[in-house]
Amino acid sequence: MIHREGYTILVSTLVVLAILVYVVFKLSDMNWLRYLTLTAAIVVFGLFLQFFRNPTRTTVLNDKHVIAPADGKVVVIEEVEEPEYFEGKRIQLSIFMSPFNVHVNRNPISGVISYFKYHPGEYLVAWHPKSSTLNERTTTVIKNEAGQEILFRQIAGAVARRIRWYINEGDAVKQGEEMGFIKFGSRVDVFLPLGTKINVAIDQKTRGGETVLAELD
């Protein structure tokens, strides 16, 4: 399945590549150039298709679980000061999304959006230590029925400059459902209460909507 965020880009790319192939076949009688152009066009379009794939995911709902909001690799697990909303210490867990990962972002818990804010910013590489506070990003806080709050950020990177979100402050959301999309990969940070049991390790691969990152106390 192809995500709706890719429709316009895929159609535009297909048109441009088709024109390129047509021009080469029309103007050149060199078969090697014709077939090289055709092969390159197919490869490029295939890469764009995989960028926007949207596989079905099955989330096992659990009020105590914090589910991975994105596919990728765990690159940070550390205690930090979270200054924007909590103004206190939290466990930061960061997932790096490469251009080859699924780029759909999902709600890590069920509850109500108690805070949402979009921040324009820079486009440092996603693994830069200051990308969480300097880059273009969104900040979302979900409060569950027990009153616990989880904050997570969509963060743009050097290539990923198109953050999309489908939620607003006050919305009721369900664990595992789509909340947004980051085109061409980047990073998602999750901020958890101190004492939360972490179920993943550095360099571990995650599947959005399925991998259990942590268990709430």
Active site residues: 186
Please give the C-alpha separations between residue 197 and each of 56, 107, 213, in angstroms, as whole numbers: 27, 19, 9
Give SS3 for 88. Answer: strand
Amino acid identity of residue 16, one-letter, is: V
Half-sphere exposure for 47 (CA within 13 Å, toward CB)? 11
* Helical residues (DSSP H) of the chain, grouped into ranges: 7-27, 31-51, 131-134
What are the tokens at 25? 């076949």
Amino acid identity of residue 171, one-letter, is: D
